[in-house]
Amino acid sequence: MTGSSDFKVTLLGTGVPTPSPGRFGPSTLIEAGDQKLLIDAGRGATIRLYQLGVPMGRIDALLLTHYHSDHTVGIPDFWLTGWLQSHYATRTKPLRVIGPTGARMLMSNLERAYALDVKIRIADEHLPPEGAAIEVEEFANDGVVFEQKGVKVIAFEVDHGDVIKPAYGYRIEYGGRIVVISGDTRYNENVVRYGAGADLLIHEVALARPELTTEAFVQRILAHHTTPREAGRVFERAKPKLAAYTHLVFLASKQVAPASIADLVAETRQTYGGPLEIGEDLMSFEIGQGVTVRRHPAPA
């Protein structure tokens, strides 16, 4: 093995439902050996893969954390654009989708919705029908959901609120290294448990300025997510080599501005003193002896 690691994680989208040009919808690329996994496919995931030069057809499996639309609206784009005959696409095999209960319904209904496009492109462009096929694997408990060529993925249930079920996080193991992604969750013991000793622990977070926390809509949203102080407690207990935020929920109203990145760091520092990165779109993490963080060069 050369000096550079062959276990790499790239945040494709670090945003939320807000249609922000700077933070696309939730999606994370895992590259481990020759395996490439996508965790969630929020808005713009295909654009980020294109920016990285990773053909969509090279993704071995799409794993879903839960069924909030911001995590899934990029799926039809990824699925169908990835089937085209072009250097950025190239899928000739069925798309493998792994998710908690609900994945089959989502994917079979997308197949119905896009049936005419698939039919037309087979007839007109002679695209291989297998490249538009979808293979779904559902699970309903914690456990191994993917194991291939030295890459193991373990799903673990998280707590995104009483009616937002199912909701899962993922632990990816490769070459003795561990990456854990919380998925959308409130403070949850399972993240501490599965995140313990991880090289990289990627966690969601939500915050609002104190003036806003009395608003009902803010309380409702915060009740589904993890505050920076709570995330800091998760990091403090799990003790990853590096903790990183993604899925940054910055709440605001017409009168009250969103909190800042500095606020996010300061709040986290109330409960956690270890290594911390605030995720950005296209930020990557190379997992080796240590974790090397790289920012994608700004577009010209």
- List residues near Zn ion by CB under 5 A: 68, 70, 184
Q: Residue 41 or residue 118: which is nearer to Zn ion going by CB?
A: 41
Cβ contact 206:141 at 8 Å: no
Tokens of 246: 């993604």
Alpha carbon dihedral 298, 245, 286, 6, in 10-degree steps, equals -110
Distance of closest approach, residue 25 Cβ to Zn ion, in angstroms: 8
The letter for the amino acid at 263 is D
Q: Residue 68 or residue 121: which is nearer to Zn ion going by CB?
A: 68
Q: Residue 89 or residue 264: which is nearer to Zn ion going by CB?
A: 264
Give helix then strand counts, H and E, for the chain.
8, 15
Distance of closest approach, residue 64 Cβ to Zn ion, in angstroms: 11
- Count of Cβ atoms closer than 10 Å to residue 178 Cβ: 23
Cβ contact 167:230 at 8 Å: no
Question: Which strand (E) or helix (H) includes residue 189?
Answer: helix 189-195
Q: Residue 60 or residue 281: which is nearer to Zn ion going by CB?
A: 281
What sign has the CA pseudo-torsion 51, 57, 61, 64?
A: positive
Residue with the two structure tokens 């060529």 = 149
Q: Find, among 295, 283, 289, the residue nearest to 9 by Cα.
A: 283
Distance of closest approach, residue 187 Cβ to Zn ion, in angstroms: 15
Distance of closest approach, residue 33 Cβ to Zn ion, in angstroms: 29
d(C-alpha 100, C-alpha 98), whole Å: 7
Q: Residue 70 or residue 281: which is nearer to Zn ion going by CB?
A: 70
Distance of closest approach, residue 225 Cβ to Zn ion, in angstroms: 8
Q: Residue 36 or residue 68: which is nearer to Zn ion going by CB?
A: 68
What sign has the CA pseudo-torsion 252, 167, 134, 59?
A: positive
d(C-alpha 224, C-alpha 245), whole Å: 16
Q: Residue 48 or residue 68: which is nearer to Zn ion going by CB?
A: 68
Distance of closest approach, residue 70 Cβ to Zn ion, in angstroms: 5
Distance of closest approach, residue 269 Cβ to Zn ion, in angstroms: 24
DSSP E strand boundaries for 224-283: 242-250, 276-278
